[in-house]
Structure 1
Amino acid sequence: MRFTASEVATATGGSLTGADVQIDGAGIDSRTIGSGQLFVPIVAERDGHDFIPQALSAGASAYLTSRPPLPDAAASAIEVDDTARALMAVGEAARGRLTGPVVGVTGSVGKTSTKDMLAQVLSTALRTHANERSFNNELGLPITLMGAPDDTEAVVVEMGARGVGHIAMLCDIAHPTVGVVTRVDGVHLEMFGSIGAIAQAKGELIASLPDDGLAVLNVDQDTVIAMAARTTADVIAYGLSPKADVHAEDISVDADLRPTFTLRSPWGSIEVAMSARGRHQVHNALAAASVAGGLGLSVEQIAEGLAGAAISGLRMELTRTDDGVAVLNDSYNANPTSMRAALEGLSGLTEGRKVAVVGVMAEIGDTARAEHLAITARARELGVEVIAVDAPDYGPDARHVADIDGAVTALSDLSAGDAVLVKGSRVAALERVAAALLAAPASR
């Protein structure tokens, strides 16, 4: 979205030094800043002000600063008290220019995949913009809004939270007209303290909706559907239950874990064949279908969008090695709910040997030991071997290795027809296991 430097100064209450240049989008990383963008130096473990020269060299046309402007820089500077708060202010200004629906998506599990699917579905009828990857916090959200092209007709933004009040703050920037809540689970309990606090935080999205807005809620979870009481907006309930307004029937999964199902909705029924992998993705597809139908898209457009929707990387990526081993890379993150879903996907993938290489499920609080043991027990029920990488909480029924090299060595006897799941929280970085398997020569 295009601004002038003076418009940015007005939105932030800042002071412009230099020419009133055109700005198109924003970024906080000097290594990836785009030509003509606004560079926003964030003060954290490292002070982003130190990287202003690099950002300007990379093509940034202006920058925010809470320091005096660089004396010898040709680019324009906007002096503000706090660069992060100023970025949020510019994000809100960008939101004010949007006239179409702005959809906020939150939940303990599934929000990124739902966002990805919804963006693809809406794009069958509307010029749609969505956040990249998981840009879902007070920095990523305004960057997403500023990055929307001027002719955007719909925006989809993912909303994450580290505590109660965070999503409310994001809603003050994005002013969503549609809100989606996928699930409330024991994820990030170390930060929230209780499931009740998680539900309170996620429900802030629904409480923010205008009277003429739309709330899309998972009817299969009581904690989510109860959020209907927090809004005067219209409510669409989705889920696997037949009592849902939008639900799925006759779900099946092919040999590559791609689901098909019959979509039942107030707007009609249609057969849907998904490109995303995993039976659990049907729930996310129903959320996307509910928003799209609520905004007036046809069931044909919904089915078309879901058929072409690719989800963000490191989520149920299925690749086969040269010697026929299936590698299911779901290493972006992990919690008990997503871990069970991935194990169930793995169990249906092959008749051969099935192995789950797992890392720690981080930030799940005092129940961490019990939750890890439960995952090992569930894997055994499904006939899946567990190799735990530097994660002792999986217990004595798992095979334990110290590091990535140990995991790769433990998989050296795989053969054609076997399958490996790789999954752990981001801190484990287990995508390196998948990369090593796929890079290995045939006939290990």
Structure 2
Amino acid sequence: MIAFTAAEIAEITNGHLDADAGITPLTVVTDSREATTGSLYVAKPGEHADGHDFIGAAFSRGASLVLAERAVAGPDGVNYPAVLVKDAVLALGALAAEAVRRIRAARHAAGEALTVIGITGSAGKTTTKDLLAGILAPHGTTVAPQGSYNGEIGVPLTVFRADTDTRFLVIEMGATGIGHIRYLADMVKPDIGVVLGVGTAHAGEFGGVDNIARAKGELVEALPATGTAILNLDDDRVAAMRSRTSAAVLGFTAAGHADGAVQADAPDTNPVGNPEFDLILPSGEPDLHVSSQLIGAHHMGNLLAAAAAAFAAGIPGRDIAASLSTQAAASRWRMERTERPDGVTVINDAYNANPESMRAALRTLADLGRGRRTWAVLGAMLELGTDSIREHTAVGTQVVRLNISRLVVVGREARALYVSAVQEGSWGDECVFAETPDEAYELLNAELEPGDLVLFKSSNSVGLRHLGDRIALPPQTPVPAKEGSELL
């Protein structure tokens, strides 16, 4: 982390230094439980709790300074050392922006470069981020987000893990409204921007798909003329973004041929569902074959996007192809495959869900399940607004038309999916509605048989990823406690 004194933090954030312990913070945390000796604790108001209520806990664990919106006194009546600001989240962003600026300046003075790569899209951001970081790491110190840290809190926390020895800084950028990605891009000043796709995730919050495209395109608008925009040519809305940037444009496509683009020649999946293709780069390097360890043909675009971004960053094609062929899923609950000792195969893809990713996961289930009994355990896709019933209905219809053997729909928010499957002709025990994950667990635990293939898919907060973890355990194995709350 770039070191900031308390006085510098106050100046950068336009804050007031209420007290100074005289210790330069060593880390930045937004969860008091993660505070250690020398931490800067950011006390932000939250949806369910106010960080100011945990300032004492942070200092008891070693925090030396708090970034807060009001002063808080300790048991002795003396205020904790603090920089007081109007908005702790915006102050955190300002501090991250200054950290990036200082890293660039230090590396430039040393005759070296910092390459910042931003990644956005309605689906595939985390997988693409993981793949790209894996390609880049052997070529220089690489910092990338933990999990899906991709918002106004997660992006600064990623930045604070970088230092003057960082060669590549990979930033995942999520959004739930117009202007969010512009804010993140202004913070980190990306050199390369990757747009994976425009789908219907968060359509309700954005007010429609056109607004999603407008928001995702903010990344390429923020690129300098010396930068590179990596665009998915298989998505018309993304391809149209070339008119919104002054940067060079490098497209990628898994569906056809495009001069000068990164392409997949002879794309296919092997019997266990791993994508395979010959990688075509603008440099014309020959014999670049990719045999991925990821599961599902829908990852073809993520693999090509990572390849294109790495190529733009100057990585040789042979290194790109070799890395893509050895990397498995690095983040949890993304087509995570577990083979139980009794012969049941579990695919846990329930970190998030939208109509596009749901359809892709179900197609993969159908492809992998030929000759096996297949189970789709599905929960709600959230934040779809007025399109929710229509989109859940379409998924229920798809399940039946793909000849998935058994459907278990969990939770009332997904009931339209169950109703549509029944109306499409899935009757009796082929289609079951469960009110809760516990109810679904009892059904699955009783009825799964050796050779079955079961997919779990839902939006994150529905919690089916935890149900998938329970089912992935061998029968009669005690269930571990759930992991702590995530910072997204």
* Interval containing the TM-score (normalised by the shorter chain): over 0.9
Q: Provide closer, same or farther for how the CA distance between residues 59 and 279 of structure 1 changes in structure 2, counting only shifts above 3 A.
A: farther
Equivalent-residue separation in structure 1 for 2:464 and 2:471 (angstroms): 11
- Whether the 8 Å CA contact 2:21–2:65 is kept in 1: the answer is no
Equivalent-residue separation in structure 1 for 2:315 and 2:367 (angstroms): 34
Deviates more, 1:26-35 or 1:102-111: 26-35
Aligned amino acid, residue 392 of structure 1: R
> What do the CA deviations read for 1:354-376 (whole angstroms, capped 9, x no partner)?
01000011111222222212212
- Whether the 8 Å CA contact 1:323–1:442 is kept in 2: the answer is no
Equivalent-residue separation in structure 1 for 2:219 and 2:147 (angstroms): 20
Matched, 1:65 2:68: yes
Equivalent-residue separation in structure 2 for 1:367 and 1:66 (angstroms): 38
The CA deviation at 1:75 is: 6.8
Q: Which of 359, 366, 370 is equivalent to 2:386?
A: 366
Q: What residue number does 1:145 align with?
A: 159
Q: What residue number does 2:416 align with?
A: 393
1:284-433 residue pairs with structure 2 within 5 A? 284-306=302-324, 307-308=326-327, 310-350=329-369, 351-384=371-404, 385-390=406-411, 391-394=414-417, 395=419, 396=422, 397=426, 398-411=431-444, 412-433=446-467
Matched, 1:250 2:281: no
Q: Which of 98, 103, 123 is equivalent to 1:98?
A: 103
> What do the CA deviations read for 1:20-64 (whole angstroms, capped 9, x no partner)?
322233111111234432110001232111111111222323211
> What do the CA deviations read for 1:166-190 (whole angstroms, capped 9, x no partner)?
1111112111111110000111111
Aligned amino acid, residue 308 of structure 1: Q
Equivalent-residue separation in structure 2 for 1:386 and 1:31 (angstroms): 40
Equivalent-residue separation in structure 2 for 1:35 and 1:223 (angstroms): 48
Q: Aligned pair count?
A: 443
Q: What residue number does 1:282 align with?
A: 300
Aligned amino acid, residue 387 of structure 1: V
Percent of matched pairs sharing the same residue: 39
The CA deviation at 1:243 is: 1.4
Q: What residue number does 2:187 align with?
A: 173
Matched, 1:7 2:8: yes
Equivalent-residue separation in structure 1 for 2:79 and 2:387 (angstroms): 55
Q: What residue number does 1:52 align with?
A: 55
Q: Which of 201, 204, 214 is equivalent to 2:228?
A: 214
Q: What residue number does 1:40 align with?
A: 42
Task: Give the match's secondary structure for 1:342.
Answer: helix
- Whether the 8 Å CA contact 1:213–1:233 is kept in 2: the answer is yes
Aligned amino acid, residue 434 of structure 1: G
Equivalent-residue separation in structure 2 for 1:415 and 1:68 (angstroms): 59
The CA deviation at 1:334 is: 0.8
Task: Give the match's secondary structure for 2:388.
Answer: helix
Q: What residue number does 2:30 align with?
A: 28
1:65-214 residue pairs with structure 2 within 5 A? 65-68=68-71, 70=73, 72=76, 76-99=81-104, 100-214=114-228
Equivalent-residue separation in structure 2 for 1:342 and 1:80 (angstroms): 45
- Whether the 8 Å CA contact 2:181–2:218 is kept in 1: the answer is yes
Aligned amino acid, residue 16 of structure 2: S
> What do the CA deviations read for 1:228-272 (whole angstroms, capped 9, x no partner)?
101110000001121160011223333443222211111324011
Aligned amino acid, residue 273 of structure 2: L
The CA deviation at 1:440 is: 4.6
Equivalent-residue separation in structure 2 for 1:58 and 1:151 (angstroms): 29
TM-score of the aligned structures, taking structure 1 as reference length: 0.95
The CA deviation at 1:311 is: 3.0
Equivalent-residue separation in structure 1 for 2:56 and 2:272 (angstroms): 48
Aligned amino acid, residue 393 of structure 1: A
Task: Give the match's secondary structure for 2:279.
Answer: strand
> What do the CA deviations read for 1:406-437 (whole angstroms, capped 9, x no partner)?
21233222211110000111121002321222
The CA deviation at 1:12 is: 1.1
Task: Give the match's secondary structure for 1:315.
Answer: coil
Aligned amino acid, residue 104 of structure 1: G
The CA deviation at 1:300 is: 1.7
The CA deviation at 1:288 is: 0.7
Unaligned runs of 5+ residues in structure 2 are 105-113, 478-488
> What do the CA deviations read for 1:365-415 (whole angstroms, capped 9, x no partner)?
222222212212222222213211122111224421111122123322221
Equivalent-residue separation in structure 2 for 1:61 and 1:210 (angstroms): 38
Deviates more, 1:191-200 or 1:147-156: 147-156
Q: Provide closer, same or farther for how the CA distance between residues 272 and 34 of structure 1 changes in structure 2, counting only shifts above 3 A.
A: farther
Unaligned runs of 5+ residues in structure 1 are none
- Whether the 8 Å CA contact 1:24–1:147 is kept in 2: the answer is no
